[in-house]
Chain A
Amino acid sequence: MNTEASTLKDLDAVRSMIKRHKLNDYLFGAVGLSFIILILLTLLVLFIDLIMDGYPKLMSWDFFSSFPSRRAANAGLLSALVGSALVMIITFVSAVPMGVAAAIYLEEYAKKNWLSEVIEVNVTNLAAVPSIIYGLLALGLFVYILDFGTSILTAGLTLGLLILPVVIVATREAIRGIPVAIREAAYAVGATKWQVVSQHVVRYATGGILTGVIIGMARAIGETAPVITIGALTFIAFLPPSPVTTSAPFLNFDWLWSGFTVLPIQMFSWLSRPGADFHVNAAAAGAVIIVVTLLMNGIAIKMRYNIRKKIKWQ
């Protein structure tokens, strides 16, 4: 009897203790949730504001199919859209193969010693270097030394350099996520290192790599400072030569050397005009940039989800 009573009392004490401890869960949950709501609301309000300001422009096809103009009513995004797309192609082509290869080398081939540690720390830090510094570097290297001019090629390579560390870090993370057991399984049947890397590691890491690439590209598409630094123009009333032609060899690379503008620069230039009429254009351009960025991030999330669903390590 006696013991039963005492255990009962203990149980009460235990229960109230659990309750007290759980209070922290609720508290943290509430604080965290309100922060998230605050952040999301701020972004949402900004976005809605841009859309409302730019509404008349966003609703007209002319805005997307016209060149910039001195009159706000006629000014459009066409050259900036095409410019951004072409610059992104160069960024992708220059950053992705190099970044993935570098990451694979560092992760799978490089001997682990002080040198690889130094390189590792530096690559990670490169991701944090302000983008305008990349612009300065590119101005010296691509524009003056290599004489590429203020061209699509220069802009694409600059942004490629900018996102290279992002691609490298994301690829390494993705590679590290592959269980040792899977590598050992492949080695145990007699695979060479290259077979393990190309037929297993890279394949299973594709989801993570692509996510990193898309997030890097989404960052690049909104970058303004480095592109201004290399001397990009704000008023481009022509399109670069078409990359595809109707006669053999059907590909034309003259566009690489063409002048250009990109979305954020176009937005910036409209924003810096006095008078409210151009600000409508700027707001519309801002909304377009946000939509493109969100879309790219959405694709990244969807891809990761699909691949996670298919390849789930137990």
Chain B
Amino acid sequence: MVTVTTPLKAESRDLNFIYNGGIHALKGINMPLYEKKITALIGPSGCGKSTFLRCFNRMHDLYPGNKYQGQIVMHPDNTNVLDAGVDPIEVRMRISMVFQKPNPFPKSIYENVAYGLRVRGERNKRIIDDKVEEALKGAAIWDEVKDRLHDLAFNLSGGQQQRLCIARALATDPEIMLFDEPTSALDPIATANIEELMTELRDKLTILVVTHNMQQAARISDYTAYMYLGEMVEYGDTDRIFTNPTRKETEDYITGKFG
């Protein structure tokens, strides 16, 4: 019933993806992405979660020979982000990404967050200052770094670095944010911080998150998709997937009988 009233932000339509080596990593994926909701992707290692996530911001374009088939359509403008005529840079300006391992630039904390704005041609220092502060606050790291904005980002702890990377992805006001196992390199406290952060971000934007952690998916997501061997086995409300999955494979995976 929730799904009926929630607008779509994006949807993948019959998406296939083939790596340059010939591996057919995604097979006919159909999945909606509802606006201002968190959708979690779960599934055993190697099933194609990262591959799917990285289609959304055309990350695969960085390496020659990778092939997309099908569509990922963004709403409300109906742009197929996989269309060869759509510039991947334009897509990345609308859809930002947080990686599995924190990957700040070897620059200052401030410059890390400001970078996306600079890439977009912003030169006004006042505007950049404001945006950096807003993004750092949005990523719940402002209080920890406000006195050391010009320190090297490498001097932060792993959890702080990951929140900095979230701030960097947030500073450019993306419509969708992709997270690829954002907490797998972090301790439980840093993980809890980031989970809380993601649920707060839901007010502003649409989130697609890959996770290996069943409890995490259950805690933070509104929708869950279970993938296996490059296929979308089951998709639905998180509550339903975790309490009453229709497919046997899904049940086996979330109860830990498999995977």
Q: Could you tell me which A residues sit within 8 Å of B by CB distance?
A: 111-112, 179, 181-192, 195, 200, 204, 310-312, 314
Contact = CB atoms under 8 A, between A and B. Distances in A.
Contact of B89 (A111, A112, A181, A190): A190
B105 A186 contact: yes
Contact of B93 (A190, A310, A314): A190
Interface in B108-137: 115-116, 119-120
A179 B104 CA distance: 11
Would you list the 10 A-B pairs with minimal beta carbon distance, nearest first?
A189-B116, A181-B103, A311-B106, A190-B92, A190-B93, A188-B97, A185-B103, A191-B119, A190-B119, A190-B89
A187 B59 contact: yes
A188 B64 contact: no
B101 interface: yes
B211 interface: no
A312 B104 CA distance: 12
B165 interface: yes
Contacts of B105: 182, 185-186, 200
Contacts of B115: 186, 189, 191
Contacts of A186: 105, 115
Given A188-B59, A188-B97, A182 B89 contact: no
Given A186-B105, A187-B62, 17 more contacts: A181-B101, A185-B104, A185-B165, A185-B168, A186-B115, A188-B57, A188-B92, A189-B92, A189-B116, A189-B119, A189-B169, A190-B93, A190-B116, A190-B119, A191-B119, A310-B106, A314-B154
B197 interface: no
A189 B116 CA distance: 5
B106 to A, nearest CB: 4
B240 to A, nearest CB: 32
A190 B106 contact: no
A165 to B, nearest CB: 26
Nearest to A189: B116
A204 B103 CA distance: 14
A102 to B, nearest CB: 21
B64 A111 contact: yes
Contacts of B19: none
23 contacts: A179-B103, A182-B105, A184-B59, A185-B105, A186-B105, A186-B115, A187-B59, A188-B57, A188-B92, A188-B96, A188-B97, A188-B99, A189-B169, A190-B89, A190-B92, A190-B119, A190-B120, A191-B89, A191-B119, A192-B119, A310-B152, A311-B106, A312-B154
A192 B90 CA distance: 10
B172 interface: yes
A183 B62 CA distance: 10
B99 A185 contact: yes
Contacts of B62: 183-184, 187
A192 B89 contact: yes
A181 to B, nearest CB: 4
A135 B104 CA distance: 47
B39 to A, nearest CB: 19
Given A182-B103, A311-B106, A314-B154, A187 B119 contact: no
A314 to B, nearest CB: 7
Contacts of A179: 103
Contacts of B165: 185
A267 B119 CA distance: 54
Interface in B7-38: none
Contacts of B96: 188-189
Contacts of A204: 106
Interface string B162-180: 0001001100100000000
Contacts of A310: 106, 152
Nearest to B58: A187
A313 B259 CA distance: 32
A111 B20 CA distance: 14
B119 A195 contact: yes
A184 B103 contact: yes
